Amino acid sequence: MANGIIPDKLHDFNVYSNANKLIGISGEVKLPELAAMSETLSGPGIMGEIDSPTPGFFSGMEQEIPFRTLYEDMFSLMSPLDAVDITLRGAIQTIDTNNHRDDVGVRVVERGQFKKFTPGTMQQGKAMEATLTLETTYILVEYDGKEKLLLNKLTGEYRVNGVDIMSKVRSLT
């Protein structure tokens, strides 16, 4: 709880592709997991094993984008020759210790490549639940207009709260 502000819930959000609003999105978009790549450290002087993460190196990151039905604009994300650029913009509802409610902006930008398409199911009167899956190589998370996380696997950039985690590694290699 910073400055007496308590984050409550995501008030609302929208998903954009190259500045075009994707209106066929279902109600929930699960963001990709960042799982650090690691190596097991063991040997003399260590009691057992330590799973040692390598800063800046992450396993593959998948972004699944769920659509209620097949939707014309979703096919523009499927070219294996073009990069996919997705922006999720939302408002996080907050409450403070005086019971005052407010909203704070959150923005997630992802770039990557088309990986998988699931057209869904066909049943009368039901959503088709089609999905597109992207391999994410870039993610930027901003909270209240401030950069909180930036990972660009293709350029070796990795920043947390504005701190360049990889600067020393780049200077030594």
Whole-number pLDDT of residue 2? 62
Alpha-carbon gap, residue 23 to 13, rounded angstroms = 11
- Domain coordinates in residue numbering, the chain: 5-172
Pairing relationship of beta strands 61-67 and 84-96 according to DSSP bridges:
unpaired
| Of 129, 109, 127, the residue nearest 118 (C-alpha) | 129
- Calculate Rg over the CA atoms of the chain: 20
Whole-number pLDDT of residue 1? 56
CATH topology assigned to domain 5-172: Pnp Oxidase; Chain A (2.30.110)
Alpha-carbon gap, residue 66 to 40, rounded angstroms = 36
Kindly give the confidence (pLDDT) of every residue in the chain, 173 residues in length, as a single tens digit, with 9 standing for 90 and above. Answer: 567 889 999 999 999 998 788 877 887 899 999 999 999 999 999 999 999 999 999 999 999 999 999 888 888 899 989 999 999 999 999 999 999 999 999 999 999 999 999 999 999 999 999 999 999 999 999 999 999 999 999 999 999 999 999 999 989 98
